[in-house]
Amino acid sequence: MSVQGEFVRQQAHFRDWVSADGSTGAVAEPGRYHLYVALACPWSHRTAIVRKLKRLEDVIGISHIHPFRDERGWAFAGGEFSDDVNGWAFLSEAYEASAPGYDGRVSVPVLWDKKAGRIVNNESAEIIRMFGSEFDEWGDASVDLYPEDLRAEIDALEEWIYSDLNNGVYRAGFAKSQEAYESAYRRVAGILPKLEERLAERRYLTGDRITEADWRLFVTLVRFDAVYHTHFRCNGVKVAELPNLWGYTRELYQQPGVAETVAMDEIKRHYYTTHDELNPKRIIPAGGPTHDDFMAPHGRG
């Protein structure tokens, strides 16, 4: 926290790059890398989506982490939330194995190099870029989420969306002063109608093609009404009250393979039971958009 009570996100620690030609020291190859994700987390979620869209399921393995996180950090609680690669009980073990004595924040997602026995990268924005291009020999090279002719526009959109919405909801939710909260709230409340206006004129953020900017926006929109609107006190307009933005969210949800990455039960359980300072009784609200709501006709054609 800053002295004004503003939430400040810690930067990712591991920033190595996997490249198709191995020029970065980590070469892309099938079976070598493993993705650790908590589907409750939006930063994890976007890596799981791109892995799915690029058809990398047989190229990059995945392990899911339990949505509840206590003072010990992200955990593998067993069953569907198990680590079949290293047998860890907590994700912190990956950080310690990669940087002995590591005392920073243990975050998801994590891209693990099985051959080197270390974390390659824990920055989701970089992981989706790697998935989007460096594994094309084995994935679906026809899916280009960062086309060269749109990169400048995508970069500008993502900077705006991150600061005002992706991270903005957290700045509102974890603010430690009224001033910090109101500053963050104004940015969240301001970006939603601007996005609504933009999507009145174009099908996706950059026009008629889905790019990574859309998926980076989607993971916040899909959580907004169920979690951020109430839990993080972003209680102005809901996404479902903005027809263009709501139709756009439903259309992205209905893209092949995407719905199975949206674990709404895990999302709600994580937020409403993990942040005791915001919800000390850990009661999970019953309402919010359901799978049926997201599957309703989107009208974006």
Instruction: Write out the catalytic residue numbers.
Output: 41, 170
Name the residue among 131, 38, 87 with its Cα closest to residue 97: 87
CB 70 within 8 A of CB 46: no
CA pseudo-torsion sign 140, 143, 148, 154? negative
